[in-house]
């Protein structure tokens, strides 16, 4: 596990080890002595945060994670300020970055860029680990790790994630968070996933087929209130309208009647088609949220007494702020957990890199274990 590119490369053992290592990191950071010890580990290493898509939490939690481990951090936050603006290819840019840093953490609009970058660097004399911090609407593996960690902690007293109903609701079609989390849920016996979304935003077939392949119990519904009533945990998601193409998500007026235009996969061909839905909106405006899939105060009553509510943030109307003080709402926990989980992950990757350098390549299997422990 040198690069972290997609959620499907993560296995159950990695999740268990990540939980244990993250707990160790949290504990260490709890004391001045421990926090200073962590900061003494990698002051000779530098990370690049290459974030060409907007980000607050993921960027800051990765930045803080590097600082927790004493690493230097450099950043590029827009392709306009790198030589890409002069026409340099992305892969040349990435090879340039690798010349200055030991770890590249990247978020981009482009599906598959992190994979392409890792393959490219692996073929050079300076291979560097790459962490995918979000690749277009496709994958967000470290969000899935922190969601898994939050679920484990929140459901610990109730036997863990095994056997629970996990609802994922909102714009499933274009949510990398939904796609990555759904994949990790396959490791838990007896889990049932409920995907709640309008048909136009339903989960894509690639993930559905993987879940079928792994015999994961799942159901798709358009009945949001029913889904809330079933949930041991519900993950709310925002409308991902930054990926709107052409007419997608526009509302138009035809002879006094309002219609929403949506792009949908055509089951009869590889292509997408534009579908018209009669709109209930009163004016022609761009949609901000998926009506009917917003978690409101009334849903706190429908939710099971122990059911938990998550959201990767940023939010719009999908989760009413009035719900925030309910102890079942874990969104601010997720924000904190993101930093701890990413600190653990970077520790593990840097530790492996150091050992590989020491051993001049592949490290013996018994030493692998040491990458998962906080050791001198
Ligand atoms: C998510 C993302 O960027 O995919 N946010 C995050 O990483 N915390 C979710 C979103 O933007 O809706």
pLDDT for position 1:
62
Task: Give every residue of the chain whose pLDDT is below 50, as ranges.
Answer: none
Helix %, strand %, coil % of the chain (to 5): 45, 20, 35
Ligand 1 lined by 186 (C-beta under 6 Å): no
Interval between CA 374 and ligand 1 midpoint (Å): 29
pLDDT for position 281:
61
Query: For the whole model, what pTM was predicted?
Result: 0.91
pLDDT for position 277:
79
pLDDT for position 353:
93
Q: Name which residue sits closest to atom 12 of ligand 1, judged by CA.
A: 238
Ligand 1 lined by 311 (C-beta under 6 Å): no
pLDDT for position 360:
87
pLDDT for position 278:
78
Interval between CA 111 and ligand 1 midpoint (Å): 15
Ligand 1 lined by 337 (C-beta under 6 Å): no
Residues facing residue 260 across a β-bridge: 251, 277
Following DSSP, what letter does each residue of 67-94 receive, concatenated?
HHTT-EEEEE--GGGSGGGGT--HHHHH
Ligand 1 lined by 107 (C-beta under 6 Å): no
Alpha-carbon Rg of the chain, whole angstroms?
Answer: 22
The structure tokens listed for 120 are 């490219």
How far apart, in whole angstroms, are the C-alpha atoms of residue 31 and residue 35? 6
Ligand 1 lined by 143 (C-beta under 6 Å): yes
């Amino acid at each position: 596990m040198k690069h972290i590119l997609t959620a499907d490369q993560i296995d159950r053992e990695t999740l268990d080890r990540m939980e244990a290592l993250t707990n160790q990191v949290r504990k260490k950071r709890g004391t001045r002595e421990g926090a200073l010890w962590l900061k003494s580990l990698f002051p000779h290493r530098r990370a690049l945060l290459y974030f060409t898509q907007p980000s607050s939490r993921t960027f800051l939690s990765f930045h803080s994670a590097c600082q927790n481990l004493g690493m230097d951090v450099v950043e590029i936050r827009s392709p306009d300020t790198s030589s890409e603006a002069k026409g340099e290819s992305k892969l040349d840019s990435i090879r340039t970055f690798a010349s200055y840093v030991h770890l590249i953490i990247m978020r981009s609009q482009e599906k598959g860029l992190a994979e392409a970058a890792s393959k490219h660097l692996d073929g050079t004399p300076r291979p560097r680990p790459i962490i995918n911090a979000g690749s277009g609407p496709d994958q967000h593996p470290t969000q899935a790790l922190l969601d898994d960690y939050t679920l484990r902690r929140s459901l610990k007293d109730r036997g863990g994630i095994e056997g629970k109903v996990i609802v994922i609701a909102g714009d499933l079609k274009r949510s990398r968070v939904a796609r990555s989390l759904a994949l990790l849920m396959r490791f838990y016996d007896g889990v049932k996933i409920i995907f709640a979304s309008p048909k136009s935003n339903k989960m894509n077939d690639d993930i559905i087929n993987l879940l079928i392949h792994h015999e994961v119990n799942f159901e798709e519904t358009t009945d949001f209130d029913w889904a809330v009533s079933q949930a041991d945990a519900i993950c709310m998601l925002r409308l991902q309208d930054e990926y709107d193409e052409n007419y997608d998500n526009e509302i138009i007026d035809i002879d006094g009647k309002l219609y929403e235009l949506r792009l949908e996969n055509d089951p009869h061909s590889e292509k997408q088609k534009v579908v018209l839905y009669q709109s209930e909106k009163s004016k022609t405006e761009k949609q901000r949220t998926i009506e009917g899939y917003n978690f409101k105060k009334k849903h706190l009553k429908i939710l099971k007494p122990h059911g938990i509510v998550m959201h990767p943030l940023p939010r719009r109307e999908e989760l009413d702020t009035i719900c925030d003080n309910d102890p079942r709402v874990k969104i601010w926990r997720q924000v904190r957990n993101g930093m701890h989980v990413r600190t653990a992950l970077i520790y593990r990757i840097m530790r492996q890199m150091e050992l590989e350098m020491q051993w001049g390549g592949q490290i013996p299997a018994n030493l692998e274990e040491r990458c998962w422990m906080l050791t001198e």
